[in-house]
Amino acid sequence: MRRVLLLGLTAFCLCVFVAADTKSDRQEERPFPEKDGVLQLKKGNFKRALRKYDQLLVHFYTPLSGEGHRVSAAFEGAAAELKGSKVKLAAVDVSKEKDLAKELNVTGHPVIRLYLSGDKHNPAPCPVPQSSASILTWLKRREGSAADLVTDLSQSEASEELTVVGVFKELNHEYVQVFYAAAVELPDVRFAVTQDDEVIGKYGLTHDAVLLLKESKLIQAYKMMPETSKEELIVFITVYQMDPVTEYTGQTASQILSSPVLNHALLFVNKSSEDFDEIFSAFSSTAETFRMKILFVLVNVAEHRNGRLMEYFRVQDFEAPLIRLVNLTNHVTYHLPSDTLNTEHIEKFCQDYLEGKAKPKMQSEPIPEGWDQKPVKELVGMNLEKVAFNPDRTVFVLFYLPYSKESRALFPLWEELAEAFEEREDVVIARIDASANDINMSMQGAYPSLCLFPALYAERVVVYTGPRKLKPLIKFVEKEMEKAKKYRVKEDEDRRKYIEDMKAEELNV
């Protein structure tokens, strides 16, 4: 009896084993969901895809991102070209597959990786491709060597596209490997290698060099040294591939933000304004001086699509023209302290910044000691709103730029105004340095700006546009106080009613 039971048990176990085996076999064979030749992977089938495909190029994306869309299109194009090859393309939606992304250490997006021989730990990172051709070029260059780039230059030299030409006497130099490694990382750029004496003679080279050619013209040359690194070479190529000044647009944004140059100078300017040409010319000539160190970007404030960028830098269109520097490593910004944007001032600003001597622009300066002791109160970003929006005080604020003559010319007048109201507890005359403090309210008019905040619960600003003389200013304050008083009666009534209603509600409860 007992033996029979045991036998039965063994048979059962065997059955389970057999069943399990065929099940996993069937799983291995089950096709992966595909879209336009690209595998759609999830946590449940990612490992199986790794086992099956020796070379798996995976695009980790989030839907709705513009760059993600472009890469997806490039993947579909490349999938058609790579049909039957040993490389399989795949995509993972990281907005849905959070666990898988975490397990694979995928941060940011888009991320593109080539997984080799089923190893999930050491994928090769693939640069974000501009097109399907860049994917194919990248895969090809990964497997090749500098010798594959040896070309007859007569055709590519005349090309409108930039060509990066390595002029090397021997191909066995270590820096030729560095050159080739840069070519792998920049699949969207055309690379060539030549050992042609004619080319060496034509450009008067006495040393191995990397030339940037466009339409048969030499744009820039880089002397290859034993210590030249791949990173340096990539900076050189990506910088000279762009114009000295790049305008920020939907098309250039990703090129600007992915630049290896992490110091950016931004000129916020209205391109239709009269002084544009003059300012742009000063900005451009400075750009030439600081190439490879600082990337120069033009932002047209009259273009509404730049609204988000301007919001990020807290720049309002009436403040233009102005120049900001930003260190993209720590996101600290700096404001050019001058209202004359000429070459001399821009160059000094850039030089000071690089030497660590520029003063960062802050959300707010610290509140100065004794800020409310003098007739004119000194406000900073931190206490501006608290002081200005006071329902019991009329507050008149001068927003000034300390380096501007026009601003400074108003200081004595502001002192006089403060003295005129010195005995009045309900009037505050104040000023704030608009260059050192972020102004968190929407205002109109360029600096210097004279703004009155009436004694109301409502957060209201009245901009003074009359003559900048004592008498009209006093008259303006008094008139606005009269107006506010009437409005305040209404406000108080509304509040009283509101409070009564609340009490009635409470009683009802």
Ligand X SMILES: *[C@@H]1O[C@H](CO)[C@@H](O)[C@H](O)[C@H]1NC(C)=O
Q: Tell me which residues touch ligand X (CB under 6 A).
A: 104-105, 120-121, 263, 270, 272-273, 301-302, 317, 327, 329-330, 353-354, 356, 363-364, 381-382, 438, 440
Q: CA dist 32 to 48, 51, 200, Å? A: 9, 13, 53
Shortest Cβ 385–ligand X spacing (Å): 7
Write phi, then psi, for 332 (nearest 5 degrees): -85, 135
| Nearer residue to ligand X within complex by CB, 148 or 317 | 317
> Which residues, at least 6 apart from 117, have a Cβ–Cβ distance to it below 8 Å?
54
| Nearer residue to ligand X within complex by CB, 144 or 360 | 360
| Nearer residue to ligand X within complex by CB, 167 or 261 | 261
| Nearer residue to ligand X within complex by CB, 129 or 381 | 381
Shortest Cβ 349–ligand X spacing (Å): 12
> Which residues, at least 6 apart from 350, have a Cβ–Cβ distance to it below 8 Å?
265, 286, 289, 290, 294, 325
| Alpha carbons 450 and 431: distance in angstroms, whole number | 9
| Nearer residue to ligand X within complex by CB, 141 or 361 | 361
Question: Which one, of 4, 147, 135, lies nearest residue 57 by Cα?
Answer: 135
* Other beta carbons less than 10 A from residue 7's beta carbon: 10
Shortest Cβ 322–ligand X spacing (Å): 13
| Nearer residue to ligand X within complex by CB, 353 or 464 | 353
Shortest Cβ 103–ligand X spacing (Å): 6
Q: CA dist 326 to 141, 238, 251, 294, 473, Å? A: 35, 19, 21, 10, 39
Shortest Cβ 59–ligand X spacing (Å): 17
Q: Which residue has the tokens 């001058």?
A: 338
| Nearer residue to ligand X within complex by CB, 153 or 320 | 320
| Nearer residue to ligand X within complex by CB, 117 or 159 | 117
Q: What is the bridge-based pairing of β-strands 394-400 and 332-335?
A: unpaired
Shortest Cβ 431–ligand X spacing (Å): 16
Shortest Cβ 101–ligand X spacing (Å): 11
On whether the CB atoms of residues 25 and 83 are closer than 8 A, the answer is no
| Alpha carbons 263 and 466: distance in angstroms, whole number | 42
Shortest Cβ 490–ligand X spacing (Å): 29
| Nearer residue to ligand X within complex by CB, 366 or 412 | 366
Q: CA dist 55 to 94, 115, 117, Å? A: 21, 6, 6
Enumerate helices (H) and strands (E) in the chain, giving the number of each: 17, 20
Question: Which one, of 397, 359, 382, 391, lies nearest residue 440 by Cα?
Answer: 382
Shortest Cβ 401–ligand X spacing (Å): 18
Strands (E), 382-486: 394-400, 427-433, 449-453, 462-463
